[in-house]
Every structure is written in C-alpha cells, then in structure tokens.
Amino acid sequence: METRLIDVLQPIKDNDYQLPENQSLQELTTMMLQKIGSVHPVLRDDLIHTIFTTFIERGHYSHEQLKNILQSILNKNYLFYRIGTSKKQEDAVFKRSFSVLLIPPIMKKHRKTPFLKEAEVHRVWDHLKRYMQQESDHRGYVEGKGWAHAMAHAADALYHVASCDEITEPEIREMLPIIKAQFLIDHPYLFDEEERMVTAVMTMFKKIKPQARMEWLETLLYVRESWQDPREDIIINNSKHFLRALYFRMLEGDHRELRQVLENLLRELRKQEAY
C-alpha cells in the first residue's frame, strides 16, 4: 500500500500540489492520515507532510474539514499512539511526531481566519501539555527512517498555539515547567531541538510577567548530585545549550535584564562542569 500511495502522491507534489480531477480530497486525506507515521521517510516527510501542509496553506480544506483533521490527530491513535507502552527504539514515535506537526499549519490558518471556538483552542493546548508530559522518545534523526524529532515538532506546535489570542497566562505558566523537564534529561539533544523550543518560549514569554520569566529561567540551572555519574554531564550540557540559545535569541530586542539573568546562570552552570 505504501508504494501505491507514493505513486499517488508523488505526481501531486511534482505538479505543484494540484489535486487531480479524478482524485477525491477526502479519500486522499484518509489515506495520508493512515500512513502519517510510516517509517518510509520519503512517504512520511517529503510527501504526506508537505502535501498536508501545502493543502492547508492553500485553502484546499474547509474549516469543518480542518476541525475534523485536528480532532483526528489529537486522539490516542495519533498524538498519543502507544505513548505509554512503546519502547524508546520503537517506530511509534513517527506517528506521534508527525501528528503533532500537523498542528502548526492548522493553527496558523486559525490565527489568520479564526474558525475554532475558544474552548477548542484550549483543548489543543491541553492535549499538547499532556503530550509534552508523556513523550519519552527523544531521538532526532533515525538512520534509514529519517526524522523522528518529536521535541522539535512539539516546539513548532507550541509556538503556533501559544501565538493564539485564546491562550492565557496561566496556561503558559503551566507549560513552562513541562518544557524544562523535557530538556533537563540525560539524553543529548543533537539536532537544534533547543533552538526550536526557544522560538516557542520567546512567544510564550510575551504572555507572562517579567518576574515569572526570571523565576522560570532560574529553574533551568542544573545542580549536579554526583561527580561520578556521566548522565549528569549530559543533563548539564542540555541545560547549557538551552540557556545559550535563549541568551543569543535575547540579543534581539529589549531583554537586558533577562540577558543578565542568563549570563549569571551560565557562569553558575560552568561550576557544574567536570572539566
């Protein structure tokens, strides 16, 4: 079926994403959703993801159809597919990470021409919060299967949902500790995940008070418990990369106080390094 779907999708991409006259959009959407987590990188990333994104951006879907797609991907068979049971090296992450990557173009469309009710936007945020709490597969690029990149994709979704007027300060403040917990882990982030998440954080910062920003930044300072555990070196490295990414992003704009906080945190973090 995957080869047959590639044969259907490749000509659509090659023809500037024009849907053939004899092709049903609903049928095509169903087929793409069924294979959104394929381990075939060309099918999953180059075709399904790019076609979905382009179709959404160009207005091929009605608002009702976009709602239906959003409702589909937020359930246990997509965003939460095997999230609590799959092993870290399992392929289930591809379905989760490419489901979450459908959220950005839909929410971008909503921000331009609102079609979701306020409660529906909050529901998307709540599902993202739960997803961020539960995702434990932090692989970036997987040889032979392409990008998993769950945390980078989640960051893109957070950016686009946090940009919606409906998202409130309390919702942002609830999410920030979850982001911190996902980045202060003993798995190295190697593929700019922190840069993608910093983009989301900078948008989230616009909705909270300066004191709350500073208080959260201070939680990113990791204090080691042992000098013998190499896993702590990885956590410290992740902390350092995240703080640095924030610092350099804050060189743009009036963020003098926050930059000073970050400089102090980076100096303190240097004391935790084993060299």
Chain length of the chain: 275
- pLDDT digit string (tens) for 121-148? 999 999 999 999 999 999 999 999 999 9
pLDDT at 32 over 70: yes
Q: How far apart are CA 142 and CA 83, in angstroms?
A: 18
Q: State the CB neighbour count (10 A cutoff) for residue 4.
A: 9
- For 239, the token pair is 């902390």
pLDDT at 270 over 70: yes
- pLDDT digit string (tens) for 48-74? 999 999 999 999 999 999 999 999 999
- pLDDT digit string (tens) for 144-202? 999 999 999 999 999 999 999 999 999 999 999 999 999 999 999 999 999 999 999 99
pLDDT at 44 over 90: yes
Judge whether 148 and 159 are in contact, CB under 8 Å: no
Cα–Cα distance list, 92 to 35, 36, 69, 135, 137 (Å): 12, 11, 19, 11, 9
pLDDT at 118 over 80: yes
Judge whether 108 and 55 are in contact, CB under 8 Å: no
- The dihedral through the CA atoms of 228, 192, 241, 158 has a sign that is negative
pTM of the model: 0.96
- pLDDT digit string (tens) for 202-237? 999 999 999 999 999 999 999 999 898 999 999 999
Q: How confident is the model at residue 110 (pLDDT cuts 50, 70, 90)?
A: very high
- For 217, the token pair is 């930044």
